[in-house]
Amino acid sequence: MKKRLMVLAFAGVLAVGLSSCGKKEVSSNHVQSVTSETGAETSISEGETPDLSEEQPEQVELPESEEVQGDISQNTEDTQTQEPEQEATQDNSSQEPAQSAPVSYADRQEIYLDGSWQYADHSAIHSGAAVMYKASGNRKGIVVGVNAGHGTSGGSSAKTLCHPDGSAKTTGGSTEAGATKATAVSGGMTFNDGATESSVTLRMAEILRDKLLAAGYDVLMVRDGSDVQLDNVARTVICNNVADCHISLHWDGDGLSYDKGCFYISVPDGIKGMEPVASHWKQHNALGASLVDGLRGQGCKINGGGSMSIDLTQTSYSTIPSVDIELGNACSDHSDGTLNNQAEGLLQGIKNYFGK
């Protein structure tokens, strides 16, 4: 009887040990970011609880048993299947970021800005989190960063450096040429029917996310709700470290009285010599051109040659293929039917860009 009790007690210790071990793995990135912000957290559970209880109270009560364990084994499998794919696609431009991001994320994991990431210190607003969605089948081992433009309350009263090296902006846009600092996140335009750009970009992001997941792509939802406290620098840096490409969704506030169609923001000549743009601008433009081709293939109206060069914060800080796609303007229809068709075009463009 005594022996049986001891065995049971030992098994209990083992189980506790295993589950806390697993929990550490799943949330390691999250804890890291908490630690770097407070600089004082000492244990995993202490570092994690304040954030979860603030934003996701329901998760605190989850038993640390089968659900957490399930995520861990899924993680391990993902890591294993991703490696050969990376080796097999040597000419693929997505190879570099995928290799520099060895962390494996769980489905629905919140991802915060890690203060140790390159350019993270340039961000002014970064208390919010992006959310990872993982495809359940036909997995391609590619993470698409989907950035629903705007939607950061207070974003227009904070400023960030236009360029990581502090140099002046070379073109106009929402911030004028010559400025060294830009609005951290602008408010966005308003459609003729009164809809806000941020609500339409979120709807578009959700539709695109579901299409990407069905096609086997993982999706990093940079903004997963009506508001995320992440400025343009933070959004870009998170994508740089977690995703294989970064696509921000916008409609143009041009004041025109007709729908001028879709286009992508290409890289202006003035910043092509500045790092990290110099090393990546060809990828940015190639991704943008591929998205516009995809939209054209779905019969979407394209503005002029399909691109307009603007010096954007997103472009200036991106170390992965990264593009701002403008899906129309205030006159554009933004019904689900139209957004679905545009999302299909973007999906085709992404497939063509990655070649799978």
| Site of interaction with Zn ion (CB under 5 A) | 149, 188, 250
When the beta carbons of 47 and 149 are compared against Zn ion, the nearer one is 149
State how far the Cα of 107 lies from the Cα of 135, in Å rounded to an integer. 8
Question: 18-49 burial string, b = 16+ CB within 10 Å, else e?
Answer: ebeebbeebbebbbbbbbbbeeebeebeebbe
State how far the Cα of 246 lies from the Cα of 140, in Å rounded to an integer. 16
CA distances from 229 to 61, 106, 134, 169, 279 (A): 25, 21, 23, 24, 29
Question: CB of 330: closest distance to Zn ion in angstroms?
Answer: 11
Classify residue 251 by burial, with Cβ atoms within 10 Å: 0-12, 13-18, 19+: buried
Give the CA count within 13 Å in the CB-facing half-sphere of 308: 19
Give the orientation angle of helix 197-214 with respect to helix 336-354, to 10 degrees: 50
Question: CB of 189: closest distance to Zn ion in angstroms?
Answer: 6
When the beta carbons of 93 and 186 are compared against Zn ion, the nearer one is 186
Question: CB of 266: closest distance to Zn ion in angstroms?
Answer: 16
Angle at 257 between CA 256 and CA 260, to 5 degrees: 65
When the beta carbons of 44 and 233 are compared against Zn ion, the nearer one is 233
State how far the Cα of 183 lies from the Cα of 181, in Å rounded to an integer. 7
When the beta carbons of 105 and 251 are compared against Zn ion, the nearer one is 251
When the beta carbons of 22 and 328 are compared against Zn ion, the nearer one is 328
Question: CB of 352: closest distance to Zn ion in angstroms?
Answer: 25
Question: CB of 250: closest distance to Zn ion in angstroms?
Answer: 3
Question: CB of 32: closest distance to Zn ion in angstroms?
Answer: 31
Strands 130-133, 159-161: pairing is: unpaired
Under 8 Å between Cβ of 291 and 212: no
When the beta carbons of 44 and 207 are compared against Zn ion, the nearer one is 207
Question: CB of 336: closest distance to Zn ion in angstroms?
Answer: 20
Question: CB of 302: closest distance to Zn ion in angstroms?
Answer: 18
Q: From the centroid of its chain, how far is CA 356?
A: 20
State how far the Cα of 276 lies from the Cα of 331, in Å rounded to an integer. 35
Backbone dihedral region for residue 26 (phi beyond 0: left; psi -120 to 50: alpha; all else: beta): alpha
When the beta carbons of 223 and 250 are compared against Zn ion, the nearer one is 250
When the beta carbons of 22 and 188 are compared against Zn ion, the nearer one is 188
Question: CB of 196: closest distance to Zn ion in angstroms?
Answer: 10
Closest-by-Cβ residue to Zn ion is 250
State how far the Cα of 342 lies from the Cα of 356, in Å rounded to an integer. 19
DSSP tally for the chain: helices H, then strands E: 11, 10
Q: Residue 122: helix, strand or coil by DSSP?
A: helix
When the beta carbons of 142 and 310 are compared against Zn ion, the nearer one is 310
